[in-house]
Amino acid sequence: MTPSSALPVLLVTGGGRGIGAATARLAAQRGYAVAVNYAHNALAAEALVAEIRAQGGQAVALQADVADEAQVLRLFAAVDAQLGPLRGLVNNAGVVDVPARVDSMDAARLQRMFSTNVVGPFLCAREAVRRMGSQGVRNFGPGYGLGGAIVNVSSAASRLGSPGQYVDYAAAKGAIDTMTIGLAKEVAAEGIRVNAVRPGLIETDIHASGGLPDRVRDLSATVPLQRGGTALEVAQAIVWLLGPEASYTTGALVDVSGGR
């Protein structure tokens, strides 16, 4: 196995399935050592890691719920110990709920939505900046403080609003858009780029978890390209934003939504 110090280290939260798994797989093919974070589905994450390793890549599966600060700290410490200095973060972990109007949402739903979809990415971005930024060498040692890239996975819902279904989810992703723009300006001088992708209707199982397994098929006619997208199509945008080809891109919100 290639030594961790020879590869740029990437953490993908919610990396065991969907867009996260496609991103981890593609990033490994492009030469990253990948930490695949998962909250509950260890089997999916371990299977992905085994697949990456079988193809000659380097990957580890690490459990943590990003909504819990103590678990986030444990997650980043594990990345430090098992792979080395972090150079990339993909804030992908997220949840949806069953379709509902705002006037039927309770506080428990809202707290879960914002804890995972907003607080979690903030905590992960904080820990990434601490390692990538100018104080990284002093705080963590050689190899740290060399800059890096953060890509937040937002959603086209942040500009569409998702009325009658997921206004809370859309609002959480709107917060991610704003965080992306502000953080990008805050850390640019330290060599850290921060961007977001905003997927549209993508064929993943997140729709089933929200009670709408046929959502992409049902809404595909509303997409100018007349189809749903794939997780790989989103992953390709994410990996581009992580890499040197996007070296002059920061604070960008990149729509991967088929024109919707």
What residues are labeled active site?
169
Q: Which two tokens stand for residue 159?
A: 């500009």
- 178-to-28, 94, 155, 194, 252 alpha-carbon distances in Å: 29, 17, 12, 11, 11
Of residues 48, 67, 65, the one with CA closest to residue 112? 67
* DSSP 8-state symbol, 223: S
Query: 113 in helix, strand or coil?
Result: helix
CB atoms near residue 6 (< 10 Å) = 10
> What is the rounded distance in angstroms from the CA atom of residue 95 to the CA atom of residue 50?
25
> What is the rounded distance in angstroms from the CA atom of residue 152 to the CA atom of residue 179?
9
